[in-house]
Amino acid sequence: MLKDMPTITDSSTMTDGPELSKERLITCFKALSDARRFSIFNMLMEGVQCNCEIAERLGVSLSLISYHLRILNEVGLVEAERDPHDARWIYYSINTEMLVDLREAISRLLHVGRIRPRQPSCGPKANDRC
């Protein structure tokens, strides 16, 4: 039998424990809903990248790539690290801790065990129960 899964509510977390809050999950979805940010995120899943590598592969300007990387960084999906020998170079990678949290939150959100049988409280069938 499927393990009982808690419901997603407006509370600060979707389940007991240190998982992603509903608001944080929505913020991640919003960040990844942009096609360019999704492509950048997908490239970073291949490993560490410099913004010039990303710009070249996507065929867009460095300033546009920097803008999208900043958004991904602000929501916690991407980490940035300056080169220790030349701080002008910044290398971007996936925040693996956030990725684990995101994967677990999505798994809980989409878990089939959350679906419960119920009848609507309105409409023609509702009158049959009175």
Domains, the chain, ordered by start: 22-111 (1.10.10.10)
The set of residues, in sequence order, having a beta carbon less than 8 Å from that of 10 and lying 6+ positions away, is 22
pTM of the model: 0.77
Q: What is the dihedral of CA 31, 32, 38, 40, to 10 degrees?
A: 40
Q: What is the layout of strands, in order, in the sheet containing 90-94?
A: 49-50, 90-94, 78-82
Block means of pLDDT (10 residues each) for the chain, 130 residues, are 40 49 94 98 98 96 97 98 94 97 93 89 73
Burial (CB count <10 Å: 0-12, 13-18, 19+), residue 58 = middle
User: What does the pLDDT read at residue 129?
Assistant: 60
Give the Cα separation of 59 and 52 in Å (integer): 10
